[in-house]
A and B are shown apart, each in its own frame.
Chain A
Amino acid sequence: MRHAAAVPGRFSIRQMIARLTPDRWGAATTAVALFVATPLIAVASIALTPAPDIWRHLYDTVLFGYIERTLILIAGLGLGTFVLGTGTAWLVTMCRFPGRGLFNWALVLPLAVPTYILAFVFTDQLEYAGNLQVALREIFGWRNRQDYWFPEIRSMGGAITVMTLVLYPYVYLLARAAFLEQSVCVLEVSRTLGKNAWQCFWQVALPLARPAIVVGMTLAMMEALNDFGTVDFFGVKTFTAGIYDVWLNMDNISGAAQLASVLMIFVVVLVVLERMARRGQRYHHTSSKIQALPSYQLRGWRAGLAVAFCALPVLLGFVLPASVLTSYALTFFDVTLKANYLTITLNSILLSASAAVAAVAIGLVLAYGLRMGEGPLPRAAVRFASIGYAVPGAVLAIGVIVPMAALDNTIDHFSERVFGISTGLLLSGTVVAILYGYLTRFLALSFGTVEAGLGKVSRNMDGAARTLGASPLRAMSRIHFPLIRTSLLTAGLLVFVDCMKELPITIILRPFGYDTLATFVFQYASDELFEESALGALTIVAAGLIPVVILALTTLRSRPGHGAAAGGNIGGRA
C-alpha cells in the first residue's frame, strides 16, 4: 500500500483522505467532548425553563455580596496556593536544606484530606472551646472572651486558609514538575549572566513554569467555585451558596441553573483571558541538554526558614487533621465498624478506580484528538467540557440525572412498545450515573494533565511515525503512550484521590443501599455527629495517601536525564 502513491489516480484520493482525516478526528473529538459536556448543557437548558424571575431580587439585595465574596475567596486562594505551591516546589527542587527528601513527597499529603474534614478539624481546634484557646487561657490566665482577642475561624479568612492548605498541592505538583523539566542550560546561562538565585527564580524559572502553575491555580480556584460544604460551614455566602438558596429555599431550580450558567460563563471568560494573556509567549525548551539540576545550599537561618516554610503546610494540612481524626477514631471506631465498613471502603475504592480509568481514557482520547485534528470547534468543545469542575456538585448531579433518565425512559418506552418488556431505569438508577458525573466533574484534571504531557512530545515525532507508515492509532500506542505514561498515571491518581473525597454527586446519584466512605461520613456530619464517623474519614485520607505518595515519587523519577542512580541525591551538583 505504501507504494500505491505512485499511481496518479490513487494519489489524489489519498490526498483527499489526508485532508479529510483531521476533520474526522475533529468530529470524533467534538462528539466525545459533547458527550462529557452533556450534563453542563442540561444545566444550561434547565436555566431556560420558565420560572419566577430571581434576578431583580438578587440584584437589589445579595448579588453583589455573592460576587464580591466569591472574588475575594478565589483571589485569596489563588494567591495562597501560588505562594505555598510555587515556593515549596522551588525550595525542594532547587535548594538543599535538612529534610528536603522528606518534604519532597510529604508536601503532597494534604491533597488526600477532604476540604470539609479539614474545615471541621480547624474549627474544632481553633474555636473558643478548642484545644488551642483553652491552652492559651490556661497559660495567660484569661477567663473569658473579653480578656483577649483571637481571630474568628468561621470567616472568609478561615475558608481561604483551609482551602489553600488542601489545594496548594495541585500547584506544588505541577510547579515542581515544571522546575524539574527546565533545561539546566537556561538556568546556567542566567547564572552566567550574573543573576542571583532570586533573579533566576523570578526572571527565568517562574515565567518558564507559568503555564503549569496557572493550570494548578485554575484547578484550585475551580474547586473553590464549586464548593458549598466548606463555605457553608464557615458562613461565607458565595455565589454557590446563592445557587443552593435559590434552588432549595425559593424552590426555583431554574433560577439556580441560571446562576450556575453564569458561573460557567465566568469560568470560560477567565480561562480565555488567561490564554490570551499568554498568547505569543510560547515556551519551548530550546536545548534538550539536561542533567541533574544545580542546587543552592542553604545554611543557618535560611535553612531554618526553608524548613519552616515547607513544614507548615504539611503540619497544618495533614498531620493535624490526621492526628485529630485518629484520636476520634480511637473513641468512636465501633460506629464505623458496625456500618459495613469493609463494603463501603471497597465501594469507594472500586468506584474511584473505575472513574480514574474512564477519565484518563477519555482525557487521552480528547487530548490526542485535539493533537490530530486542529480546528476551533473541537477545541472549544473540549474547553467547554472541562469547566464541569467549577460547577457545584449537586447542580451537576441534576445535569446528569435529567438527560440520563430521559434516555432510560425513551429506551423503556421503546422496548415496552416493541417487545412488551419494561427496561426501567437502565443507567440512571445505577453507579453508571455516578461514574458519568465524576467524568464530567473531573475532566479538567484528567484532560489537563494528559494534554500537558502530550504537549511535551515534539510533533516531529508524530511526523516521523506517520512518515514511516504508522497509523495514528499505532503512533499513539507505540510512540506517545510510552512517552506520556507518567502523565497518564498522574491524571489517574489525581482523579482517584478526588473521587474518594467527592460527596454531592455521589450522594444524589447513588442507588439504594450503596454507600461510599464520603456519604457515610456525611450521614453523621449532617447530624452534627462528625466524630462518630472519624474512622470513615480517616480511611478516606489513608486511601488517598498511597496514590498521593506514588504521585510524588513518579513525577520525581520522570525527569528526563535523571537516572535511577541519581534518585537518591536529586539536585546534587553534577
Chain B
Amino acid sequence: METKKPQIHRLLTAGLAAVAAATAALTSATWAKAADTEVNLYSYRQPFLIKPLLDAFTKDTGIKVNVVFAKKGMLEKIKAAGDNSPADAVLTVDIGRLYALKEAGVLQSIKSDALNKNIPAHFRDPDGMWYGLTARGRVLLLSKDRIKPGSIKSYEDLTKPEFKGKICTRSGKHPYNVALIASMIAHHGEEGAKKWLEGVKANLARKPQGNDRAQAKAIYEGVCDIALSNNYYMGKMMTNEKKPVQKKWAAAVTLTYMNQDGRGNHMNISGAAVTKSAKHKDAAVKLVEFLSSDEAQKIYAEDNHEYPVKPGVPRSELVQSWGDFKADTLSLEKIAKLRPAASRLVDKVGFDDGPGS
C-alpha cells in the first residue's frame, strides 16, 4: 500500500498542474484585453444586426469591439462581477432593460456634448445614465380588404364592439406590449387601462401568440383583421428577398399610426449605456457617441427601418412612404416604472388566455 501513495501523489500533482494550465490558458484570453484599443459590449441585440455599425466604428476609431449577446441575465452578470465586470457598455432594445440597469446601480452618468446634441432630451435619461439610439413605434397593421381606412384611429378604438373577433397580437407579456400597456396606465390610470385591456381581450381573434410578423401573416391568412406590431417589422417584411412570401403578408396590410389627433403613437427605444465598472470608459463613451452620429444613425435607418433619434437624419425611403406621424412624448422613464404594474394587469385581465376565457 505504501507503494501506491507516491503514485497517487504524482497523479494528483499532474492533475493539479493540468487544471492550472487549463485555467491559465482559458483566462489569458480575457487578460490580454487590457489595452484601451478595445471595448467590451454586452448586447441585447443580435450581433449580426449590429455588425455593420460596429465595423464602421472600428474603421473610424481603430477601437475593436468585443460583443457578447444575451437576452436574459446580463444585469445579474454585471452586478455579480462588481468592479471586475468586463462589460464597458450595454446595448439594449426596449426601455425596460435600460431602466432596470439604472435602478440596479450598475451604470454611470455620462456627460457628453455630442450625445446631448445628437439625442433629443425625451430619448435620454435625465441623469445621463442611458441614451436612446433608435425609436420604434408600436403601430397597427390593418387589413387592406376588410378594414375601412379611418375606422380605427386610436389604441382606445381597439375596444369598440365592431372589432369583436378581429384583433391579433403577440403575448401581452412581451416587453413591447408591456410598454404599450404601461403607457395606457400613464394616460388613463390603472382602472382605465384595465378596462381597456379587458376590451381588447374581448375583441381578440385568437389566443395571443407568435411574434409581430406572425400577426401580419395571420391577417394575410384571414385569421384576423387588425394586429399590433412594431413598425420596422413591416419594413423587414416588405424588403425580404430571401423569403418573398413575407412581402405578401406585408401587402395585405396597411401600417397605421395611432392617436394622431391626440397624444400621438406610442414609442419605445433601443439604447445604450456605459457601466459603472467600465475599464475602457473613454472607448465606451466614444462608441455610444458614434452610435448617435449621422453615419451610424443612417445605418440604423436603412438596415433596420427604425427611426433615427438624431434630428435631421433621414428615415429610410420605405419608412418615409408611411408618412409623417405624431409621436407620444410621454417620458420613457415613466413607462419603465409602470412596467411591473402593466405586467400584473396582463395577469389580472387574463389577457394571454385569449378571448372567451
Q: Mark A416-444, 1 if CB is under 8 A from B, else 0.
A: 00000010111111111000000000000
Looking at chain A, what size class is its interface with the partner chain?
35 or more
A372-414 interface code vs B (CB 8 A; 1 in, 0 out): 0000000000000000000000100110011011101100100
Chain B residue with the shortest CB-CB distance to A504: B72
- Closest B residue, CB atoms, query A505: B73
Q: Would A251 and B103 be within 8 Å (CB), given that A424-B84, A524-B48, A527-B46 are in contact? A: yes
User: Are A523 and B30 neighbours in the complex by a CB distance under 8 Å?
Assistant: no
- Asked if A527 contacts B173 (CB within 8 A), the reply is no
Q: Which residues of A contact B276 (CB under 8 A)?
A: none
The answer to whether the Cβ of A507 comes within 8 Å of any Cβ in the partner chain is yes
B contact residues around A404 at 8 Å (CB): 80
Binds A, one of B210-218, B265-273, B285-293: B210-218
Contact A512–B76 (Cβ < 8 Å): no
**What's the minimum C-beta distance from A547 to chain B, rounded to whole angstroms?**
23
B223 at the interface (CB under 8 A from A): yes
A329 smallest CB distance to B (angstroms): 14
Q: Are A235 and B347 in contact (CB under 8 A)?
A: no
* Segment among B128-136, B147-155, B337-345 that sits at the interface with chain A: B337-345
What residues on B are CB-neighbors of A514 within 8 Å?
Answer: 68
B309 to chain A, nearest CB (A): 21
> B48 is contacted by which of A412, A427, A523, A531 (Cβ under 8 Å)?
A523
Decide: B221 and A429 in contact? CB cutoff 8 A. Answer: no
- Whether B48 lies near A429 (C-beta < 8 A) is no
The answer on a CB contact under 8 Å between B47 and A523 is yes
Distance in angstroms from B244 CB to nearest chain A CB is: 12
Does B30 lie within 8 Å of A424, measured CB to CB? yes
User: What's the least CB distance linking A410 to chain B, in Å?
Assistant: 11
Decide: A235 and B67 in contact? CB cutoff 8 A: no
Stretch at the interface among A97-105, A241-249, A559-567: A241-249
A253 at the interface (CB under 8 A from B): yes
Once the chains bind, are B86 and A528 in contact (CB under 8 Å)? no
Provide the residues of chain A in CB contact with B213, threshold 8 Å: 528
A397, A412, A432: which contacts B23 (Cβ < 8 A)?
A432
Assess whether B343 is in contact with A471, with CB atoms less than 8 Å apart.
Answer: no
Q: Mark B47-86, 1 if CB is under 8 A from A, else 0.
A: 1110000000000000000111111111011001111111
The answer, among A61, A251, A332, A427, for a CB contact under 8 Å with B340, is A251
Interface pair A510/B26, CB less than 8 Å apart: no
Note all chain B residues with C-beta closer than 8 A to A234: 209
Scan A18-37; emit 1 where CB is below 8 A from any B CB, else 0. 00000000000000000000
B207 proximal to A (CB < 8 A): yes
Q: Which residue of A lies closest to B337 (CB)?
A: A251
Is A96's CB within 8 Å of the partner chain B? no
Once bound together, how far apart are the Cα atoms of A154 and B213, in whole Å? 16
With the chains together, A283 CA to B1 CA distance in Å?
A: 37
For window 173-227 of chain B, which residues contact chain A by CB distance below 8 Å? 173, 175, 178, 207-211, 213, 217, 221-223
B242 within 8 A of A: yes
Q: Is the CB of B46 within 8 A of A526?
A: yes
Assembly CA distance A519 to B209 (angstroms): 23
| A237 in contact (CB, < 8 A) | yes
CA of A471 to CA of B49, assembled, Å: 60
B297 located at the interface, meaning its Cβ lies under 8 Å from any Cβ of chain A in the complex = no
Question: Does A129 make an interface contact (CB < 8 A)?
Answer: yes
Contact B72 A429, beta carbon cutoff 8 Å: no
Do A145 and B222 touch across chains, with their CB atoms under 8 A apart?
yes
B9 interface hit (Cβ, 8 Å): no
Q: Is the CB of A248 within 8 A of B66?
A: no
* Chain A neighbourhood of B67, CB < 8 A: 512-513
Do A406 and B86 have beta carbons less than 8 Å apart? no
Q: Is B143 an interface residue (CB 8 A)?
A: no
Contact A430 B80 (CB under 8 A): no
B83 neighbours in A (Cβ, 8 Å): 409
| CB pair B80 A62 closer than 8 Å | no
Neighbouring B residues of A513 by C-beta, 8 Å: 66-68
Least Cβ–Cβ distance between A28 and chain B, in angstroms: 14
A144 in the interface, Cβ–Cβ < 8 Å?
yes
Q: Is A508 an interface residue (CB 8 A)?
A: yes
Give bound CA distance, A398 to B73, whole Å: 7
Asked if A128 lies at the interface with its beta carbon under 8 angstroms from chain B, I say: yes
Is residue B4 contacting chain A, with contact meaning CB distance below 8 A?
Answer: yes
Q: Does B243 contact A (CB under 8 A)?
A: yes
Residues of chain B with a CB closer than 8 A to A251's CB: 96, 100, 103, 339-340
Chain B residues whose CB sits within 8 angstroms of the CB of A129 once the complex forms: 217, 221, 245
Counting CB contacts under 8 A, is B29 at the interface? yes
Query: Considering residues A1, A397, A425, which has the most beta carbons from chain B within 10 angstroms of its beta carbon?
Result: A425
Contact bitstring B234-257, A, C-beta under 8 A = 1, else 0? 000000001101000000000000
With both chains docked as a complex, state the minimum distance between the C-beta of A47 and any C-beta of chain B, in angstroms.
14
Per-position 1/0 for B319-357, Cβ under 8 A of A: 000000000000000000001101110011010110000
Q: A422 to chain B: which residues have CB within 8 Å?
A: 84
B80-118 residues with Cβ-Cβ distance < 8 A to A are 80-86, 96, 100, 103
In the bound complex, residues from chain B placing their C-beta under 8 Å from that of A428 are 80-81
C-alpha spacing A528/B69, complex, angstroms: 16
Among B1, B23, B210, B339, contact of A154 (Cβ-Cβ < 8 Å)? B210
Binary flags per residue of A169-192, CB closer than 8 Å to B gives 1, else 0: 000000000000000000000000
Q: Are A405 and B80 in contact (CB under 8 A)?
A: yes
Cross-chain contact A510 with B171 (CB below 8 angstroms)? no
Contacts of A510 in B (CB 8 A): 68
Which A residues are in CB contact (< 8 Å) with B82?
405, 409
Say if the beta carbon of A135 comes within 8 Å of chain B: no
- B316: interface (CB < 8 Å): no
Least CB separation from B85: chain A residue: A425
Tell me if A57 counts as interface (CB < 8 A to partner B): yes
**A402 and B76: CB pair below 8 A?**
yes
In the complex the two chains form, what is the Cα distance from A428 to B211 in whole Å? 34
Tell me which of B74, B81, B85 has the highest count of chain A C-beta atoms within 10 A of its own C-beta. B81
Q: Is the CB of A61 within 8 A of B347?
A: yes
- A157 in the interface (beta carbon within 8 A): no
Contact B343 A397 (CB under 8 A): no
8 Å CB contact of A245 from B33, B81, B173 = B173
- Residue B259 CB within 8 A of the other chain: no
A87 within 8 A of B: no
B86 proximity list for chain A (CB < 8 A): 424-425, 429, 512
- Is A230 interfacial (CB-CB < 8 Å)? no
Is there contact, CB below 8 Å, between A409 and B84? Answer: yes
Assess the B80–A402 pair: CB atoms within 8 A. Answer: yes
Q: Which residue of B lies closest to A57 (CB)?
A: B344
CB-based contact A508/B352 at 8 Å: no
Contact A154 B209 (CB under 8 A): yes
* B40 / chain A contacts, CB cutoff of 8 Å: 512
- Across the interface, do B347 and A62 meet the contact criterion of CB distance under 8 Å? yes
Q: Mark A508-525, 1 if CB is under 8 A from B, else 0.
A: 101111100001000110
Which of A57, A235, A512, A527 has the most C-beta atoms of chain B within 10 angstroms of its own C-beta?
A512
Say yes or no: A250 contacts B209, CB within 8 Å.
Answer: no
Q: How far is the CA of A251 from the CA of B76 in the complex (A)?
A: 11
| CB-defined contacts of B245 to chain A, threshold 8 Å | 129
Q: A252: CB under 8 A from chain B? A: yes
The CB with the most chain B CB atoms within 10 A, among A234, A248, A474, A527, is that of A248
Q: Which of B73, B222, B339 contacts A397 (CB 8 A)?
A: B73
Q: 5 nearest interchain CB pairs?
A: A249-B343, A61-B347, A405-B80, A512-B66, A508-B73
> 7 more A-B contacts (CB under 8 A) besides A249-B343, A250-B343?
A145-B222, A428-B81, A429-B86, A430-B26, A513-B67, A519-B69, A526-B71
Footprint of A on B, CB under 8 Å? 1, 4, 8, 23, 26-27, 29-31, 33, 40, 46-49, 66-74, 76-77, 80-86, 96, 100, 103, 171, 173, 175, 178, 207-211, 213, 217, 221-223, 242-243, 245, 339-340, 342-344, 347-348, 350, 352-353
9 contacts between A and B (CB under 8 A): A154-B210, A253-B76, A394-B72, A405-B82, A405-B84, A409-B82, A428-B80, A508-B73, A512-B67
